[in-house]
Structure 1
């Protein structure tokens, strides 16, 4: 791999471990900090892979996540603030994504008949068709993340991921 003189060199994990050792507080377990950092890197890479897989459809994982949320809630009305809360993003981020999806006729905003100040977001027919077209690639990409794990490793990994998910959901007081 060639590098440009302006590129940052690959550091690997060791300099981060040294930084953890010199900057973590006394009540932080350094080995746990290293594992947590590796988990953050893994989540970044998983999202990067997903965005690459979704690029031919012209959408990112975060925008598709919003469409999937609306798909799963069917005819139930969803406000931008409820969407933001469920996705764990700011209201401004949700509004920006809704604007982007609305410009592409994948979602529509409707005012409440009972309270005109309240806005609901729903999928358009085109949005439902789009989600149906993208989901096979999405699921394939999700599955590809597990391809290097042996069956027994997958079982252990699933148990660990479930445990971490529950713990983090409790901390954030949010669930999917």
Structure 2
């Protein structure tokens, strides 16, 4: 009878060890994959073009001097200013599982640039100013200044308090 108890106990311990090894291997693989993806994620100071919708966005990394470069990464710690776009890169389909980057994106624009600010489900994009004649969501950057200043000539302020910048936006056409 003692052998039966020892055998059952041995099988239980063996099963527990097998489960522990499987969980350990899964955790190491998952964390390893997460570290690889973190290393590939865009870095602060780099510029992006966003594609897709705000709910299913993707990005393309471009040189900040590129005419398409709509956004510049200003933080990888989250806590974005209300005028910045929060962009989370995840491993899986679920935004809450395996987040590898929590980026804050600010507009990468200069005086004279025109931007289609998009809508609730469309990220902003740089466009030709001539498109503003038919699209009211397109604005022109009238000036770039420091937060706390005022915009002249009736242009609308877009103030980033966190980065201490002010964009003054007017009609594109």
For Structure 1 versus Structure 2, the TM-score category normalised by the shorter chain is under 0.3
- Structure (1 or 2) with the greater strand fraction: 2
TM-score by length of 2: 0.25
- Structure (1 or 2) with the greater helix fraction: 1
Higher relative CO (CA 8 A, sep ≥ 6), structure 1 or 2?
Answer: 1
